[in-house]
Amino acid sequence: MKNLWAPWRIEYILGQDKPPGCIFCPWPEENLAERLVLFSGRLTRVMMNKFPYNNGHLLISPLRHVPYLEDLTPEELLDLQFKLRHAMRILRETMRPDGFNIGLNVGTVAGAGVESHLHWHLVPRWLGDTNYIPVFAEVRVIPEHFRQTYERLAPHFQALADEDVPCATSS
């Protein structure tokens, strides 16, 4: 019998490591690396998912605490899309995925784990990354510790500029 070692999952299973407040909102005196935040700009934040579906699973959210897409200003929406595009480019360069799953879950019934703060999931995918283990054992195999992935991605996101987004005007 082979063992699947994933010690960081116990935090999720036991539910004892849940911080107070919103995981996406800036905290006073926060340690960005400890929180797995790769980029925090004027309007948008990019962070790693501590309980990923796959290696390199990123969460992209507005800094402002809003639950719905229609709550975003045109500038926030555009900035989020620019950061999503940059994050995909960085993941392509550093992890070489064959594709991506990009998702936005709105509401608990749609799968939103943090319903009150809108966020996109960006999940890199590789040919053959799905196998029998999730089907039979309800276990995902994540081959790299999320701290190692963070260290690999962080320099690329530190170089990411908080560019001025052209204002979108309504017609």
Q: What is the pLDDT of residues 110-140, one digit of tens each?
A: 776 777 889 999 999 988 776 555 555 566 6
What is the predicted pLDDT for the residue at 45? 94
For residue 81, give the nearest of 53, 66, 99, 62 by alpha carbon: 62
Structural domains of the chain in order of their starting residue, each with its CATH number: 32-157 (3.30.428.10)
Q: Which of 119, 121, 145, 156 is catalytic?
A: 119
Least confident of 53-57, 61-65, 138-142: 138-142
User: Is-catalytic flag, 156?
Assistant: no
Q: Give, for 76, the enclosing helix (H) or strand (E).
A: helix 74-95
pLDDT digits (tens, 9 = 90+) for 1-22: 455 666 666 666 666 555 667 8
Among candidates 69, 84, 56, which has minimal Cα distance to 142?
Answer: 56
Reported as a pLDDT band with limits 50, 70 and 90, residue 56 is very high
Instruction: Return all residues near 164 (Cβ < 8 A) that are at least 6 apart.
Output: none
Strand 120-125, strand 99-104: pairing: antiparallel
